[in-house]
DNA sequence: CTGTTAGCGCCTTCAT
DNA sequence: ATGAAGGCGCTAACAG
């Protein structure tokens, strides 16, 4: 009899068993350290020996099929190209890895249909839990369907705008806006200009609301809105017209303002740079503040006052919330699983020289 | 007879078959549009109907088990927190998604042991191919073992430093260094200072080699090395001493240089900012240039001349190379599968006012 | 055209 | 203390 062609080039549990004269189930028991699998020390060694010698590696696909779980977490990330999201994702991954999970990742271009599709695909692959950065719009049908099945899910910045009661991590962006306003007011700045894109999104709306409410409450005038007729990003190296638009706006309106607030650090720094180029003295004539706390806001030459979010803590918390749900099946979602982080004011020379 | 408890809450192919009075294999054939599965239009409809009504979703784990492939690509990314890597990864993911692949991602903290471990885990999960950003050091044993098995792999920046003949995408960093030098020389700048971290890595070494070789060939003196006694990152918001160190160095040595080259854009911009704070006029007294082409190098106030890499093209090419190997099994690695991209000089006001 | 059979690699239960 | 049998959900080959 000739050697039959092996189906897979990798050695499986049966070959290990054959090699050391044991039954596959025994090998399985030893490998998984199953409690009820009592084996003599000698067979143990023989098995571990064979495993090492043959270079056995478990087929996790097969294991998943029977166990129904994959030790894999899904992550759907919008805008993986911006620093806050990247940092959250990195922290999340680090936690997941420490706990033996791998990540099935997809970058969703903020499209509701794509979100649903991706959730399905992830589900088809039997992920054990999902960390979702939900699309700005849409019905989130698949998310809802996951929730009905009590499938472990954590959303980022979802609580305030999704009509789903799921575990969530977010930042109190409204409060962040308030903090910006209070900081500016404390410096005697009341005539605020908001550098925003006309394309609104929840996070930005929250920030602006907090800012404006606080200003008005303090008797300051309603802010002046720049309403950039472009997407907020990319703005540094953005479409040709952006910088011209900003320059013209600043030159025309500089006397109506003593502070500019960006809806993100990049916008704030871009406007600040253009203003400085136009001869405006920062912060003497106009102060600048941003949001997010990206690394570049700390640059030594035009350091930006900003409202920083604790990205690393958010990513870690997201994993923990997910892990909890995975460990105890059918967890009921309680308010304790909906975390709101406080942002932090970082004062730099763009407001205080 | 009471309803028996279903093992899995999800409906499987057997339930669909039962529901529409067909055999599981028939359903499978229809669903996979198998060529040799000729079915009457009526049964087709019945089946598709049942699929829709029952909300059937395939269990990809089971499918993988039999097919031996998972439509999943592994990606091991070092330093997912820096823009170049992020952009490459994003482009790679977009291509992969278009072609029906999902990504199993892990962020490797540049640790050889971790790399090996991750490759194994990915392999255990039966990924169909691997996009690897190899650790700076180590033997890359698992990578080599993959190569022996002719497993589809593409490395990033691996060709020049790994003793493995695998498909690869990289950038001609040496040439990038040459371009920097030539640009500076064309402006009459010969006394170059290199802002580098003492922790060397292949990419940086290449850049420096190209720069120095070109300078020396042109009769310029050997560059002055700053040798920052810190990790290259984070540097903007880095450990307390970094900025002081740079400031002191610049003040002490400014008369010995007419240009500073950073081994990355962040370093270059940090040093440039500190120099400007110290009253040095840029570019009149000292010109500045960086590498990578991150978005912030385009900021309007201190725009940085840089050597930009085509990150998006790299990510796309990496996927294509991987896809090719996956489609035709046992591809022989040819030099055509080892792509070297040319960087591009982007001239900005930090060198030419 | 459609249904039956035999696994994919592993784990769990239940006999021995 | 160990092994045999059955099945996870799906697919491929082969019968009807």
Q: A247-277 pLDDT, tens per residue?
A: 999 999 999 999 999 999 999 999 999 999 9
Residue B80's pLDDT is 63
pLDDT in tens, A225-251: 999 988 877 888 878 789 999 999 999
Does B299 contact A149 at a Cβ distance shorter than 8 Å?
Answer: no
Residue whose pair of structure tokens reads 């050597």 in the numeric block: B307
Per the prediction, chain A carries an average pLDDT of 91
Establish if B253 touches chain A: CB-CB under 8 angstroms.
no
DSSP secondary-structure letter at B298?
Answer: G
Give SS3 for B312: helix
pLDDT in tens, B120-174: 999 999 999 999 999 999 999 999 999 999 999 999 999 989 999 999 999 999 9
Does B59 contact A124 at a Cβ distance shorter than 8 Å?
Answer: yes
- B 54-93: CB within 7 Å of strand D: 58-59, 62-63, 65-67
How many other C-beta atoms are found inside a 10 Å radius of the C-beta of residue A58? 16
- Nearest by CB to A124, from B58, B104, B273: name it: B58
Collect all residues with Cβ–Cβ distance below 8 Å to A134 and sequence separation of at least 6: A115, A140, A143, A155, A156, A157, A158, A162
Query: Which of the following CATH numbers is that of domain A13-58: 2.60.40.1580, 1.10.260.40, 3.40.50.1370, 3.40.50.180?
Result: 1.10.260.40
Assess contact for B167 and B325: CB atoms under 8 A: yes
Return the structure tokens found at B51.
Answer: 């699929």
Nucleotide nearest to A66 (CA to C1'): D8
CA distances from B224 to A290, B227, B255 (A): 37, 9, 12
Establish if A80 touches chain B: CB-CB under 8 angstroms.
yes
Residue A3's pLDDT is 33
CA→C1' distance for B50 and D6 (Å): 29
Residue whose pair of structure tokens reads 């109907």 in the numeric block: B49
- pLDDT above 80: residue B240: no
Collect all residues with Cβ–Cβ distance below 8 Å to B116 and sequence separation of at least 6: B138, B140, B141, B142
Please state the φ and ψ torsions of residue B307, each to the nearest 5 degrees: -105, 100
Range name among A153-162, A315-324, A341-350, B43-52 with the lowest pLDDT average: B43-52
Does nucleic acid strand C have an atom less than 7 angstroms from the CB of B7? Answer: no
- pLDDT above 90: residue A47: no
- A 20-59: CB within 7 Å of strand D: 21-26, 29, 37-40, 42-43
Does A61 contact B58 at a Cβ distance shorter than 8 Å?
Answer: no
Residue A8's pLDDT is 56
CA→C1' distance for A57 and C9 (Å): 11
Assess contact for A266 and A294: CB atoms under 8 A: yes
* Plot region of B221 (φ>0 → left; ψ -120 to 50 → alpha; else → beta): beta
Q: Residue B76's closest CA among B15, B148, B140? A: B140
- Nearest by CB to B270, from A80, A102, A300: name it: A300
The domain spans of chain A are 13-58, 68-171+312-341, 173-309
Does nucleic acid strand D have an atom less than 7 angstroms from the CB of A302? Answer: no
Return the structure tokens found at A147.
Answer: 């929730």
Q: Considering only residues A161 and B8, tell me which one the structure prediction assigns the higher pLDDT.
A: A161
Residue whose pair of structure tokens reads 């939900």 in the numeric block: A134
Residue A293's pLDDT is 95
Does A106 contact B93 at a Cβ distance shorter than 8 Å?
Answer: yes
* Residue A268: closest C-alpha in chain B: B299
- pLDDT above 60: residue A187: yes
- Per CB-CB distance under 8 Å, the chain B contacts of A106 are 93, 97, 102-103
Task: Indicate the pLDDT class of residue A1, thresholds 50, 70 and 90.
Answer: very low
- Per CB-CB distance under 8 Å, the chain B contacts of A120 are 57
pLDDT in tens, A129-175: 999 999 999 999 999 999 999 999 999 999 989 999 999 999 999 99
Return the structure tokens found at A35.
Answer: 């409690």
Collect all residues with Cβ–Cβ distance below 8 Å to A161 and sequence separation of at least 6: A202
Q: Considering only residues B230 and A288, tell me which one the structure prediction assigns the higher pLDDT.
A: A288
Distance from CA of A104 to the nearest CA of B (A): 5
Give SS3 for B148: helix
Collect all residues with Cβ–Cβ distance below 8 Å to B67 and sequence separation of at least 6: none
Pairwise CA distance, residues B203 & B197, whole Å: 12
- Nearest by CB to A68, from B8, B123, B124: name it: B8
Establish if A270 touches chain B: CB-CB under 8 angstroms.
yes
Supply the DSSP string of B226-252, one letter for each residue: --BSS-SSS-TT--THHHHHHHHHHHH
Mutation target vs A (from B113, B114, B299; most A CBs, 10 A cutoff): B299
> In the CATH scheme, what is the code of domain B68-171+312-341?
3.40.50.2300
Q: Residue A103's closest CA among B88, B325, B156, B89? A: B89
Q: A68-171+312-341 with A173-309: one CATH topology? A: yes
CA→C1' distance for B229 and D13 (Å): 67
CA→C1' distance for A92 and C12 (Å): 33
Q: Considering only residues A55 and B222, tell me which one the structure prediction assigns the higher pLDDT.
A: B222
Superfamily for domain range A173-309: Response regulator (3.40.50.2300)
Does B61 contact A72 at a Cβ distance shorter than 8 Å?
Answer: no
- Per CB-CB distance under 8 Å, the chain B contacts of A305 are none
Distance from CA of B288 to the nearest CA of A (A): 14
Residue A183's pLDDT is 98
CA→C1' distance for B64 and D6 (Å): 21
Residue A196's pLDDT is 94
Sheet (strand A344-346) strand order: A224-225, A192-195, A259-262, A287-292, A305-308, A344-346
What does the pLDDT average to over B8-21? 82
Give SS3 for B307: strand
Give SS3 for B105: strand
Distance from CA of B219 to the nearest CA of A (A): 34
Residue A49's pLDDT is 87
What does the pLDDT average to over A49-61? 90
- pLDDT above 90: residue B17: no
Residue whose pair of structure tokens reads 């706990």 in the numeric block: A99
Nucleotide nearest to B66 (CA to C1'): C8
CA→C1' distance for B66 and C7 (Å): 9
Task: Indicate the pLDDT class of residue B1, thresholds 50, 70 and 90.
Answer: very low
CA→C1' distance for B16 and D9 (Å): 12
Task: Indicate the pLDDT class of residue A10, thresholds 50, 70 and 90.
Answer: confident
Establish if A51 touches chain B: CB-CB under 8 angstroms.
no
Does nucleic acid strand D have an atom less than 7 angstroms from the CB of A147? Answer: no
Percent of chain A with pLDDT over 70: 97
Range name among A22-31, A64-73, B289-298 with the lowest pLDDT average: A22-31
Strand partners, B129: B73
Establish if A106 touches chain B: CB-CB under 8 angstroms.
yes
What does the pLDDT average to over B178-203? 95
Task: Indicate the pLDDT class of residue A2, thresholds 50, 70 and 90.
Answer: very low
What does the pLDDT average to over B69-74? 95
Distance from CA of B157 to the nearest CA of A (A): 21
Residue A24's pLDDT is 85
- Nearest by CB to B273, from A121, A126, A301: name it: A301
Assess contact for B73 and A90: CB atoms under 8 A: no
Please state the φ and ψ torsions of residue B276, each to the nearest 5 degrees: -65, -40
């Amino acid at each position: 009899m000739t050697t039959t062609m092996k189906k897979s080039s990798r050695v499986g549990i049966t070959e290990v068993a054959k090699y050391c004269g044991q039954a596959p189930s025994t090998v399985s028991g030893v490998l998984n350290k199953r409690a009820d699998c009592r084996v003599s020390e000698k067979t143990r060694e023989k098995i571990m020996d064979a495993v090492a010698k043959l270079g056995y590696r478990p087929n996790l696909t097969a294991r998943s099929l029977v166990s129904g779980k994959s030790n894999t977490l899904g992550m759907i990330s919008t805008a993986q190209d911006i620093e806050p999201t990247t940092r959250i994702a990195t922290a999340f991954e680090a936690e997941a890895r420490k706990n033996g999970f791998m990540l099935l990742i997809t970058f969703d271009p903020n499209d509701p249909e794509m979100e649903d599709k991706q959730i399905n695909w992830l589900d088809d692959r039997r992920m054990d839990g999902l960390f979702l950065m939900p699309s700005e719009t849409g019905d989130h049908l698949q998310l809802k369907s996951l929730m009905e099945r009590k499938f472990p899910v954590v959303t980022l910045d979802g609580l305030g705008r999704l009509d789903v009661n799921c575990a969530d991590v977010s930042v109190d962006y409204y409060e962040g806006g308030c903090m910006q306003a209070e900081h500016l007011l404390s410096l005697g700045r009341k005539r605020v200009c908001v550098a925003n894109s006309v394309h609104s999104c929840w996070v930005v709306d929250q920030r602006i609301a907090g800012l404006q409410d606080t200003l008005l409450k303090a008797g300051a005038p309603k802010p002046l809105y720049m309403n950039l007729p472009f997407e907020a990003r990319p703005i540094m190296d953005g479409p040709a017209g952006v910088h011209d638009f900003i320059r013209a706006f600043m030159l025309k309106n500089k006397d109506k303002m003593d502070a500019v607030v960006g809806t993100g650090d990049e916008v704030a720094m871009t406007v600040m740079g253009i203003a400085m180029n136009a001869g405006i003295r920062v912060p003497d004539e106009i102060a600048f503040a941003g949001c997010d706390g990206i690394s570049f806001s700390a640059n030594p030459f035009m350091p930006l006052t900003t409202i920083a979010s604790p990205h690393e803590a958010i990513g870690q918390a997201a994993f923990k919330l997910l892990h909890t749900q995975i460990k105890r099946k059918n967890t009921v979602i309680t308010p304790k699983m909906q975390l709101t982080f406080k942002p932090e004011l970082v004062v730099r020379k763009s407001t205080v020289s």
